[in-house]
Structure 1
Amino acid sequence: MNNRNRLTIYILIGLALGIVAGYFVNANMAQPATFADNMSLVTTLFLRLIKMIIAPLVFSTLVVGIARMGDAREVGRIGIKALGWFVIASVISLTLGLVLVNLFRPGDAFHAANQLPAIGTASGIVTSGLTLKEFITHLVPTSIADGMAKNEILQIVIFSLFFGSAAAAVGERAKPLIDAIDGIAHIMLKVTGYVMNFAPYAVFAAVSGIVAKSGLGVLKTYGIFMGEFYFGIALLWLVLTFIGFLFLGPRVLRLLAELREPTLLAFSTASSEAAFPKTLEGLERFGVKNRIAAFVLPIGYSFNLDGSMMYCTFATVFIAQAYGIEMSLGSQITMMLVLMLTSKGMAGVPRASLVVIAATLAQFNIPEAGLLLLLGIDHFLDMARSATNVIGNGIATAVVAKWEGELTQPTHKDLATAALP
């Protein structure tokens, strides 16, 4: 058994033990919230370790990849292909969420029960920074040090694009610096390996804490709603895999196998960021050249959050249904177009999907108090959409690599390693 499969098994064990421990604490302790708060310290520590890695890893891998491309036109071509795929995937995700919520109408049951938060009740979700003007000004960092300190992936990408392109233009004089930055990238990947050893403990803490605090009863109360959403997520996985099959052929199944560990990590911790380093490693094992993976994947974390986008349309219309508000087809299409813009750049924002939904509710005169219907189960929903974000970005990066002729065939050694139990 290789180290990757061993870590996957440990994460699964942590997930199972977390559910059992959380249920026991919820059923037997007088103050399970205290236990949940203590467990959150472990999860917070792990996520902070991950965030510690992301900025230097994104910067170093992206700069080296762009500098070694050597041609600004090539960077532009790859960027356009990536953004084209992201737009198509966004439309598919948003549309699927819209179709399913209208088909299942999960909000009707809540409307019939007439046990809704009073209109005007504060949700506690602060909406800001979602206008086009603020998005554009937020795009470019006033200081790269500030962007890195705040883990603003999009700002790091913008600076790295300029830095890498300039290094390519300088030529041989920049080669020693690029080699040094390449060394930093390899060091950060080694650091990633060290940090990932804590993943099973973080998974146990995250799952046990949320189950202890909310109890398994919350899953029963919202069972139908969650079942319908998870069905939608599964359908989205099938759609993305089918589209990936059209470009990658049967190799898409091997890609999914390489993404198994980061997907499980994102699901367990409800964080797409936690899976970023492992996703990058998995794509390179699959055969995606480093310069493509290091370029497309960070951009995808800002522009291609498929699971989060599907959730935005699904949850917004659900809240409207719960309050008996019928949205016309025109209003729903307009809402989808608004979400196409406001959902971009949400990576790294705490409870980003809820922030985007809150802003959308206000624009369409839907009670913001409806967000309270989702807060109790948002962690469980976030687990599914975080895992989907990993799958969506992994397939997108591999497809762009195939378009560019930068997807190598697996060696016999790679195939043997992938086949290990």
Structure 2
Amino acid sequence: MRLLNNLTVRVLIAITLGILTGYLFPETAAKLKPIGDLFINLIKMVIAPIIFLTIVLGISNMGDLKKVGRVGGKALLYFEIVTTGALAIGLLLANLIRPGDGVQTAAVKGGDISKYTEQGAGMDWTEFFLHIVPSNAIKAFAEGDILQVLVFSILFGVGLTRMGELGKPLILTFERLSKVFFNILSVVMILAPLGAFGGMAFTIGKYGLSTLLPLAKLMGTVYATMFLFVFVILNLILRYYKISLWAVLKFIKEELLIVLGTSSSESALPQIMEKLETLGCSRSVVGLVVPAGYSFNLDGTTIYLVMATVFLAQVFGVDLTLGQELTIIGILMVTSKGAAGVTGSGFIVLASTLTAIKVIPVEGLALLLGVDRFMSEARSITNIIGNTVATIFIANNEGEFDRAKYNRVLNQEAKNELADYKY
């Protein structure tokens, strides 16, 4: 029974059972959403403190505030370049494959999109950017607003660093607190298979595999585009520093499966931070890049947004000019950055984009309701891989990557897998 002690195996079994339960007992499975939500809430409970402690300790250990600014600047530049590339790839393939051609709007079961269109039309992007800075730090922690916690943590870390020797006792306390929260996380992870089961059973039971058929071409196009983005673009980025993407993916396979089961990239955020440190990235780089990436480096969400927009244009026979498509890219470069901080983000951001363009019916969002949950897995997995690659790239660029540790960890992983296989 040694294999059952492996979290990856347990999560895979849970996902399989979730799919079977959703398919065979859809009514019962549709009521299992609270199980998945419970696990995600347990993870969210420790996200804000872990991000705060990781960033503060990272900055204080870095010591040099100029270096903090340099790492942050490099990360934001990297995010903008890569997400713009993701937008361009999504736009190109959506025009080449044309998944919206031939889709009959009457054949696709829609739903109530009023809450999304109202919020999307009413989104004030100036207010969003002002929202980045918390007016109340305690409230930012209470609501789990990652971006606000990030900003407060950076300022706190800078303030603590400027104290010099006087801040050492507090740093030592934070080190101990950090270990406490990661111990809590290790206990919570015991429930990961249960969360994956509940999330997958609910998805299949609530929406059913039949909802995929009318929009199968769109789903196939989105999945294929994200696959190409990960294994071509992100692979080339890591190749620059002679890092194997496949080896990295194998190392974070448990986190990827948890994201697949729960449809939430947040469910693996603390674990990814811990794994990246284990892999050889310095705590300071991990603490700055990963939390910022969850707001500014959403590659999967970016690809989905541009492809969904072009898809709806094709469905309604709207021939977008080159100028209009470039406008879409420009708008999404801004709106996609707000996707992480908004509940129901995909539809709200898409609604705000369609409202801004004013050439595609916003009501077309109803077409996507049935398959959005199935595509959220691809978005979330691509997002988490994108942030993993970004962190490794920035760490290498800063000379903050321990190559010897990386090789040692991967060699140990290979030995463990061989032991499981032999058993």
TM-score, length basis structure 2 = 0.92
Tell me which amino acid in the other structure corresponds to 1:364: I
2:297 aligned with 1:307: no
Deviations 1:300-353 (A, max 9, x none): 011000000000100011111111111111111111111111111322432212
Query: Aligned in 2, Cα 1:123/1:294: closer, same or farther, shift over 3 Å?
Result: same
Tell me which amino acid in the other structure corresponds to 1:285: T
8 Å CA contact 1:123–1:368 kept in 2: the answer is no
RMSD: 2.2
1:6 match: 6
From 350, 360, 381, give the equivalent of 2:353.
360
1:179 match: 172
Q: CA deviation at 1:97?
A: 0.9
Deviates more, 1:308-317 or 1:321-330: 321-330
Q: CA deviation at 1:252?
A: 3.4
Tell me which amino acid in the other structure corresponds to 2:371: I
From 364, 367, 376, give the equivalent of 1:370.
364
From 296, 316, 319, give the equivalent of 1:323.
316
Query: Aligned in 2, Cα 1:188/1:79: closer, same or farther, shift over 3 Å?
Result: same
8 Å CA contact 2:259–2:377 kept in 1: the answer is yes
Tell me which amino acid in the other structure corresponds to 2:115: G
2:15 match: 15
Give the share of equivalent positions with the same residue, in percent.
38
2:412 aligned with 1:417: yes
Q: Distance in 2 between matches of 1:122 and 1:158?
A: 33
Alignment of 1:210-249 (within 5 A): 210-249=203-242
8 Å CA contact 1:339–1:360 kept in 2: the answer is yes
Q: Distance in 2 between matches of 1:300 and 1:389?
A: 9
1:379 match: 373
2:259 match: 266
Query: Aligned in 2, Cα 1:161/1:117: closer, same or farther, shift over 3 Å?
Result: same
2:135 aligned with 1:142: yes
8 Å CA contact 1:240–1:395 kept in 2: the answer is no
Query: Aligned in 2, Cα 1:223/1:193: closer, same or farther, shift over 3 Å?
Result: same
Q: Distance in 2 between matches of 1:230 and 1:211?
A: 18
2:128 aligned with 1:132: no
Query: Aligned in 2, Cα 1:188/1:377: closer, same or farther, shift over 3 Å?
Result: same
2:390 match: 396
Q: Distance in 1 between matches of 2:49 and 2:251?
A: 23
Query: Aligned in 2, Cα 1:333/1:176: closer, same or farther, shift over 3 Å?
Result: same
TM-score, length basis structure 1 = 0.93
1:42 match: 35
Q: Distance in 2 between matches of 1:60 and 1:390?
A: 21
Q: Kindly tell me the number of residue pairs found equivalent between the two proteins.
A: 412
Determine helix, strand or coil for the equivalent of 1:54: helix
Q: CA deviation at 1:263?
A: 1.7
8 Å CA contact 2:196–2:260 kept in 1: the answer is no
Determine helix, strand or coil for the equivalent of 1:62: helix
Query: Aligned in 2, Cα 1:128/1:11: closer, same or farther, shift over 3 Å?
Result: farther
Alignment of 1:74-89 (within 5 A): 74-89=67-82
Tell me which amino acid in the other structure corresponds to 2:13: I
1:278 match: 271
Q: CA deviation at 1:247?
A: 2.6
Query: Aligned in 2, Cα 1:172/1:410: closer, same or farther, shift over 3 Å?
Result: same
Q: Distance in 2 between matches of 1:80 and 1:3?
A: 44
Q: CA deviation at 1:151?
A: 0.9
Deviations 1:238-273 (A, max 9, x none): 133333233321443322222222122112211010
2:250 aligned with 1:257: yes
Tell me which amino acid in the other structure corresponds to 1:8: T
Deviates more, 1:214-223 or 1:410-419: 410-419
Query: Aligned in 2, Cα 1:248/1:54: closer, same or farther, shift over 3 Å?
Result: same
Determine helix, strand or coil for the equivalent of 1:407: coil
Query: Aligned in 2, Cα 1:129/1:8: closer, same or farther, shift over 3 Å?
Result: farther
Tell me which amino acid in the other structure corresponds to 1:22: G
